[in-house]
């Protein structure tokens, strides 16, 4: 409350807050958020050791469109000399929360055109100046502009490399991954290492890692050429990102990526083999309009490139 009242000039706050205002807001707005699966805001304290020097979070969260506005205010005494330092740290933390934990697609700031230091911190942190809304808000007896900066969680497929050895080993031995694998036994690190290096060096394998804009690995997808010249798909999503729609996305991105190699894939067929109990994967291939055959509770999906 103290910080907000001291910095009211740049906030969407029409009057000085009282202790009663603050208590009412917590009791009638904030307290109910803790029990909601998809609250419209998620707030955090920003700590230096055990000392709270700021607070903020994601507000106006749109869970359908997967976007949210960034909110942050720090101890007023830190504004003059440490503004850039703390804003960049906070932006890194809130971006990881938004993209790694909540799987949001876009985050943005909405700020009165009064704080050039804020825009510098945002742009140093990879945010893009998306829009300038002319005379958008009536504030201080005049109309002022609003500046919007944003960052989008662009996903990409890149070729697997040496640095992916440990992460792919963790994935392959995860219980929820092995549950739907055709090979159920635990894999030793030595076996995985030999297999992994053989795959990334093979002329008949294309092995990709799915990453977000923070270069966090989210899953993998691989195609291996069979004796008929067609390509067998194998994919997995990191278990901590299950249920976020990445399975269908990684297969869409795979097709787009393979089209970059027409000499290898044009006129060929993609084939996916799925254990019948793997309901989620069966649904994904069906949504993508793959042809299917069921052989003894193993689904064979296929699609021509």
Give the tens place of pLDDT for each residue, 80-117: 899 999 999 999 999 999 999 998 999 999 988 877 88
Q: Specify the CATH superfamily of domain 2-152.
A: Gcn5-related N-acetyltransferase (GNAT) (3.40.630.30)
Question: Look-up: residue for tokens 């949210």?
Answer: 68
Quote the pLDDT of residue 144.
85
Q: Which long-range contacts (CB under 8 A, 24 or more apart) does 226-232 make?
A: 226/271, 229/268, 230/268, 230/269, 230/270, 230/271, 231/206, 231/258, 231/265, 231/268, 231/269, 231/270, 231/271, 232/271, 232/272, 232/273
Question: Which among 189, 192, 195, 179 is positioned nearest to 280, based on CA atoms?
Answer: 179
116 phi and psi angles, rounded to 5 deg: -60, -30
Average pLDDT over residues 117-136: 93
Q: Is the pTM of this model over 0.85?
A: no
Task: Give SS3 for 94.
Answer: helix
At residue 49's C-alpha, the angle toward residues 43 and 54, to 5°, is: 35
Q: State the span(s) of the chain assigned CATH 3.40.630.30.
A: 2-152, 156-304
Tokens of 136: 């958008």
Question: For residue 237, what is the enclosing H or E element?
Answer: strand 231-237
Tokens of 172: 């392959």
Share of the chain above pLDDT 90, in %: 78
Quote the pLDDT of residue 252.
97
pLDDT at 70 over 80: yes
The rounded distance, in Å, linking the Cα atoms of 215 and 100 is: 10
> Given pLDDT bands bounded at 50, 70 and 90, which one contains residue 131?
very high
134 CB neighbour count, 10 Å cutoff: 10
Question: Which among 21, 26, 20, 101 is positioned nearest to 68, based on CA atoms?
Answer: 101
Q: What kind of fold does domain 156-304 have according to CATH?
A: Aminopeptidase (3.40.630)
The better pLDDT of the pair 198, 8 is held by: 198
Task: Name the region of 4 (left: φ>0; alpha: ψ -120 to 50; beta: rest).
Answer: alpha
Quote the pLDDT of residue 244.
85
The rounded distance, in Å, linking the Cα atoms of 293 and 221 is: 22
199 CB neighbour count, 10 Å cutoff: 17
pLDDT at 79 over 80: yes
pLDDT at 32 over 80: yes
Question: For residue 148, what is the enclosing H or E element?
Answer: strand 142-152
Per-residue HEC secondary structure of 40-69 comes to CEEEEEEEECCEEEEEEEEEEEECCCCEEE
Q: What is the pLDDT of residues 262-297, one digit of tens each?
A: 999 999 999 999 998 899 999 999 999 999 999 988
Average pLDDT over residues 251-264: 96
pLDDT at 260 over 90: yes
The rounded distance, in Å, linking the Cα atoms of 57 and 235 is: 34
pLDDT averaged over every residue in the chain? 93
């Amino acid at each position: 409350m103290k910080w907000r009242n001291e910095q009211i000039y740049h906030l969407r706050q029409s009057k000085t807050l009282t202790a009663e205002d603050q208590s009412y807001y917590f009791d009638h707005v904030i307290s109910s958020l803790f029990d909601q699966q998809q609250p419209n805001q998620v707030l955090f304290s920003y700590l230096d050791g055990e000392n709270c020097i700021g607070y903020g979070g994601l507000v106006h969260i749109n869970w359908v469109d997967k976007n949210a506005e960034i909110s942050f205010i720090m101890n007023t005494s830190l504004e003059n000399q440490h503004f850039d330092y703390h804003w960049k740290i906070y932006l890194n933390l809130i971006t990881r929360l938004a993209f790694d934990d909540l799987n949001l697609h876009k985050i943005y700031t909405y700020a009165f055109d009064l704080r050039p230091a804020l825009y510098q911190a945002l742009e140093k942190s990879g945010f893009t100046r998306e829009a300038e809304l002319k005379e958008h808000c009536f504030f201080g007896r005049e109309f002022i502009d609003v500046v919007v900066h944003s960052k989008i969680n662009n996903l990409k497929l890149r070729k697997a490399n040496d640095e992916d050895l440990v992460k792919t080993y963790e994935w392959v031995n995860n219980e929820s991954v092995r549950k739907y694998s055709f090979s159920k036994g635990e894999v030793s690190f030595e076996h995985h290492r030999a297999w992994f290096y053989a795959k990334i060096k093979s002329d008949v394998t294309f092995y990709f890692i799915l990453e977000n804009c923070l270069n966090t690995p989210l899953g993998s997808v691989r195609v291996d050429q069979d004796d008929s010249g067609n390509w067998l798909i194998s994919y997995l999503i990191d278990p901590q990102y299950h249920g976020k729609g990445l399975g269908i996305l990684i297969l869409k991105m795979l097709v787009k990526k393979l089209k970059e190699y027409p000499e290898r894939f044009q006129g060929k067929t993609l084939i996916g083999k799925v254990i019948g109990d793997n309901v989620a994967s069966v649904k994904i291939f069906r949504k993508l309009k793959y042809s299917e055959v069921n052989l003894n509770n193993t689904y064979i999906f296929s699609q021509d490139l």
